[in-house]
């Protein structure tokens, strides 16, 4: 096989590394958005206001059956139609943020169901407001069981970012394809992208492990 | 007549087709200790839950210090209570659960410090010194830094009592406070409740299957069956010399079970 180290280090890496940074940024920003949207979605779904809970449920179902790339194209072409002009980067953050809000909502719902009914009742008789009940009693207990699920989702989000190359977000795959089309060399750029993704996955797995361990020592409860 | 603290007027509670409380009338005086006994499923817990506004009621009125709880007065008429009204009325009420329901992610001290801060708005220093006093009182002063999972059932229940008292309620409600405990730890909890009943002026409404304990601390016993009070009066009457056949039968069964 014809592998050129000088090409790899002098051309490929310098051009792909900025893409690595874009990948990391898109992933974490969109994931943060997913967490916020997912939390609201889950609260809406559990709401006693029927239309709200139905709408949230339908949205989750809808997103579950939708390929991410469709959502990306949809926003990319639709937002300008309604007068919203965003850089491809932010369209990507928005698309992935909305897309992953649905699974986040489902994971959070699972975490909530792990909190016993007695905890709600204790908060009620101790006169906690709705906000305080969530903030002080329910969410702290719902967090621990959802960390592994959210961690998985974060790794999946990393792996979804190459789809954004379709709308010219300058992430790693986009950079690799540009190099390839200019130089007609595919092996080095694609291999480097693969290796960097591998490193990212390993890195985020370690990160998730650390968060889990931190939560475990922070609250030594649970039997 | 002494001051009336709690009053149930024709309170009816249904779960679907099942009528659990059937036009219940019950009046409890200030400082009085009232214990409800009765067979499983007779609606004892439901009485307490309605008082704590954990359940809504279909019909009737509950009053605390003469003021409607589940309703409120608006332009001379009674309308369903707002959340603000319920929160204000609940300030007088404190409840201890069968299953303790301590916050597992908080230490013993935090369990007693946080509620007054977040629900009463007292300062952290004030809440802390009061919590420490109360934990000392229930004999848990040396376990402040422990988490609930590290404690025995009896210890957890004593912390739960301290947490309830930290909210400075006037009325204490206990739902089978010793039913989830190992026999050896029951005494440490009943002795705390006994001291609350004897030394302090709390109005108390309790459900228990511990007849001797109920006899010991109660001013009045209510025997409950099928959502109604079948017989009530001082322990010396209801427990020692019940007149109703159903009360006699229940007490015989309880005595056999021990
Ligand atoms: N949330 C609910 N939904 C439907 N039925 C209920 C509900 N809560 C209680 N019930 C029913 O109401 C009746 C009274 O229940 P309650 O818990 O008040 O009984 P109890 O006297 O406390 O019994 P126990 O001694 O077993 O605790 C029972 O038949 C019970 O099945
Ligand atoms: Mg009960």
For residue B50, the model assigns a pLDDT of 96
B17 lines ligand 1 (CB under 6 A): no
Architecture of domain B1-92+170-183+203-258: 3-Layer(aba) Sandwich (3.40)
For residue A205, the model assigns a pLDDT of 87
Structure ipTM:
0.94
Query: Band of the pLDDT at A217, cuts 50, 70, 90?
Result: low
pLDDT at A113 > cutoff 70: yes
Of residues B52, B149, B150, nearest to A125 (C-beta): B52
For residue B70, the model assigns a pLDDT of 93
Q: How far is the CA of B43 from the centre of ligand 1 (A)?
A: 6
Chain A residues close to B149, C-beta within 8 Å: 220-223
3 state SS of B205 = strand
Tell me the pLDDT tens digit for each residue of A194-205: 999 999 889 888
For residue A167, the model assigns a pLDDT of 85
Name the segment(s) of chain B with CATH classification 3.40.50.300: 1-92+170-183+203-258
- Best of B48, B50, B103 to disrupt the A interface (most A CBs within 10 Å) is B103
Q: What does the pLDDT average to over A119-148?
A: 93
pLDDT at A223 > cutoff 50: no
Which residues are CB-contacts of A192 (< 8 A; sequence separation ≥ 6)?
A: A8, A12, A13, A16, A176
Q: Whose C-alpha lies nearest to ligand 1, atom 31?
A: B41
Q: Angle B233-B237-B238 (CA atoms, 0-180°, nearest 5)? A: 65
- With tokens 């000088």, the residue in question is A6
For residue B76, the model assigns a pLDDT of 85
Tell me the pLDDT tens digit for each residue of B29-71: 999 999 999 999 999 999 999 999 999 999 999 999 999 999 9
pLDDT at A189 > cutoff 60: yes
pLDDT at B258 > cutoff 90: no
Q: What does the pLDDT average to over A194-222?
A: 80
pLDDT at B245 > cutoff 50: yes
For residue A195, the model assigns a pLDDT of 93
- Which atom of ligand 1 is closest in space to residue B43's alpha carbon? 18
Among B28, B26, B33, which Cα is nearest to B5's? B28
Average model confidence (pLDDT) across chain B: 94
A75 vs A87: CA distance, rounded Å: 11
Tell me the pLDDT tens digit for each residue of A52-103: 999 999 999 999 899 999 999 999 998 899 988 889 999 999 999 999 999 9
- Best of A114, A119, A120, A127 to disrupt the B interface (most B CBs within 10 Å) is A127
Interface contact B94-A119, CB threshold 8 A? no
Among A123, A134, A122, A128, which Cα is nearest to A42's? A134
How far does the CA of residue B244 sit from the closest CA of chain A (Å)?
35
Six-digit token string for A198: 């591998």
Give all domains of chain A, ordered by start, each with its CATH number.
18-169 (1.10.3720.10)
How far does the CA of residue B101 sit from the closest CA of chain A (Å)?
6
Tell me the pLDDT tens digit for each residue of B98-157: 999 999 999 999 999 999 999 899 999 999 999 999 999 999 999 999 999 999 999 999
Of all residues in chain B, what percent carry a pLDDT higher than 90? Answer: 90
């Amino acid at each position: 096989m014809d592998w050129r180290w000088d090409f790899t280090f002098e051309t490929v890496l310098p051009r792909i590394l900025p893409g690595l940074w874009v990948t990391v940024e898109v992933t974490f920003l969109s994931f943060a958005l997913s967490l916020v949207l997912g939390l609201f979605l889950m609260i809406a779904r559990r709401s006693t206001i029927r239309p709200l809970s139905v709408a949230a449920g339908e949205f989750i179902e809808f997103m579950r059956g939708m390929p991410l790339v469709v959502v990306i194209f949809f926003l990319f072409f639709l937002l300008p139609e309604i007068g919203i002009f965003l850089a491809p980067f932010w369209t990507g953050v928005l698309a992935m943020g909305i897309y992953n809000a649905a699974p986040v909502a489902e994971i959070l719902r699972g975490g909530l169901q792990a909190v016993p009914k007695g905890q709600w009742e204790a908060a009620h008789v101790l006169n906690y407001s709705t906000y305080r009940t969530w903030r002080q009693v329910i969410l702290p207990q719902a967090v621990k069981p959802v960390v592994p699920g959210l961690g998985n989702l974060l790794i999946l989000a990393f792996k979804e970012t190459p789809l954004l190359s379709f709308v010219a977000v300058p992430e790693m795959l986009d950079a690799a394809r540009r190099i390839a089309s200019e130089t007609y060399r595919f092996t080095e750029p694609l291999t480097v992208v693969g290796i960097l993704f591998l490193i990212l996955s390993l890195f985020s797995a370690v990160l998730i492990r650390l968060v889990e361990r931190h939560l475990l020592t922070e609250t030594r409860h649970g039997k | 007549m002494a001051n009336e603290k709690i009053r149930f007027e024709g309170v009816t509670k249904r779960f679907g087709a099942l009528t659990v409380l059937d036009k219940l009338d019950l009046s409890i005086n200030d400082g009085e200790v009232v214990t409800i006994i009765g067979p499983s499923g007779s609606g004892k817990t439901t009485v307490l839950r309605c008082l704590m506004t954990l359940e809504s009621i279909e019909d009737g009125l509950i009053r605390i210090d003469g003021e409607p709880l589940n309703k409120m007065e608006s332009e001379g008429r009674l309308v369903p209570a707002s959340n603000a009204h319920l929160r204000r009325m609940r300030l007088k009420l404190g409840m201890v659960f069968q299953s303790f329901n301590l916050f597992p992610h908080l230490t013993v001290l935090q369990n007693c410090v946080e509620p007054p801060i977040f629900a009463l708005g007292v300062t952290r220093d004030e809440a802390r010194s009061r919590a420490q006093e109360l934990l000392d009182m229930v004999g848990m002063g040396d376990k402040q830094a422990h988490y609930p999972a590290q404690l025995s059932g009896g210890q957890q229940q004593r912390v739960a009592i301290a947490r309830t008292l930290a909210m400075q309620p006037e009325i204490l409600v206990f739902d089978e406070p010793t039913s989830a405990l190992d026999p050896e730890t029951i005494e440490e909890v009943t002795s705390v409740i006994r001291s609350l009943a004897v030394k302090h002026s709390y109005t108390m409404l309790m459900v228990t299957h511990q007849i001797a304990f109920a006899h010991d601390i109660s001013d009045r016993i209510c025997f409950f069956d099928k959502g109604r009070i079948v017989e009530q009066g001082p322990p010396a009457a209801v427990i020692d010399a019940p007149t109703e056949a159903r009360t006699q039968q229940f007490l015989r069964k309880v005595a056999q079970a021990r």
